[in-house]
Structure 1
Amino acid sequence: MGRLENKIAVVTGATSGIGEAVALMYVKEGAKVVLVGRNESKGAALVSKISESGGEGLFVKCDLRNYDEIQKLKAAVDAKYDHVDILFNSAGVLVHKPFLEQNKEDFDLILETNYRAYVWMMQTFIPGMVEAGKGSIINVASISAIWPELNSYFYGAMKAAVANISRNVAKEFARKGIRVNCILPGPINTGMTPDFIKNDKEAQQGMIDTVCMLGRLGEPDDIAYPAVYLGSDESSFVTGTNITVDGGVCISN
């Protein structure tokens, strides 16, 4: 049996990067997964891949900046399953600019995608978890929430907000059987890496050098492994915490 056998998981940002890796690993561990994203063709391809492996996946297109679409997502989940065991929030965007160049549009995009959507998703799915008397919520923040990082000002601020509200929500709902935790990834090799780094070997090496202990970038599966742990019953005594997965980042770099 898998570590998540017969659990129902909702994964946002599931059509790329960390979300995709988590969704596929959840299926591998026995979960039935609702994949949430905006890329319909990628979502359909992932569902086919999951079906071919003998797993069960459902793709729901949803713009998490839109409250009404989140409610439609909830209705689609309710039509298929009678409860949700795991909510994994990982959808996010990155604006990488000097502070004085970041504008209102950048701020709104980061606020609505990287923070408000997490709040709305928790408010939407927690009532069902309360009714079931159990549930695990895992929010993806970032080491930017606790370490200073140039050019990621709004991003880091919203990730800090995610970490903060996760701990507060954990405190309110712990006695109702719901656990809420954050994963704080360091530099991960995903599509969110800014183009100027992807196209510049010196910049790439500079990012790798910040991981001064292990000396490499993380891969999406490096986040999926702790996501499995936090979604499983193995972590039944773990709530209200941040798990930093950064390969040993050194702030001095």
Structure 2
Amino acid sequence: MRIAAISDIHGNLAALDAVLADIARRGADVVVNLGDLLSGPLQPCATAERLMALDLPTVAGNHERQVLTHAPARMGASDRFASERVTPAQRAWMATLPATLRLGDDVLLVHGTPTSDLTGWLETVTPAGMRPATHAEVLERAGDARAGLLLCGHTHVPRALRLDDGRLVVNPGSVGLQAYDDPEPWPHRMENSTPHARYALVERSGTAWSVSHIAVVYDWDGAAALAERHGAPDWAHALRTGRMPDRDTLTAGR
């Protein structure tokens, strides 16, 4: 069984199309989507149309929940941009997405962890910033989730960790945004340091899972120009470089 895992598209339709084309070229039995689909100053409606037509196994991310439940005054710029543009039909589709989803008996899809869409599974945020999570932290977050393959997103960082009990936790990275900053729970930033769209191919041979992280070229300059036209220069910088702008106060509208 070969699974292509995508996550954190954030309305970046150009990146999504490039990733889907690469998946089609390499081949996969199924494509799964781990949430944070539309929020961002790019193309939320067109991205929703594309995803609705594909009808992929998909879980909701924290941004779907926030767009659906938060008052506009509570929303960040990315959620507000999407919320003001998505159609009633697209909003209704978002509302159908589950928080977790099983694929067969051995695969669990989540956005953050099995119990939270705001907690990174393979990264830990401290007052000093973001760092890779320890084995003990990943194991604790896994809890009693019964699956050999645990797929997550949220932090945008491509990473995998095999637990001592044999379970494999995989974050495919972000299709649509390779850098962001966040003030919660402490100020931190994520930077993948290149603008390539990310996804993962995960394959089972016998009872063991293997993972390949893929970086895909797409028109990131065009995506950045669109972000600039929509009043998001920090997004534009992140899209072009995979890094956040070098200044004291950063915001990517996330």
After TM superposition, the score normalised by the length of structure 2 is 0.31
After TM superposition, the score normalised by the length of structure 1 is 0.31
Higher strand share: 2
Identify which of structures 1 and 2 has the higher relative contact order when contacts are C-alpha pairs closer than 8 Å and 6+ apart. Answer: 2
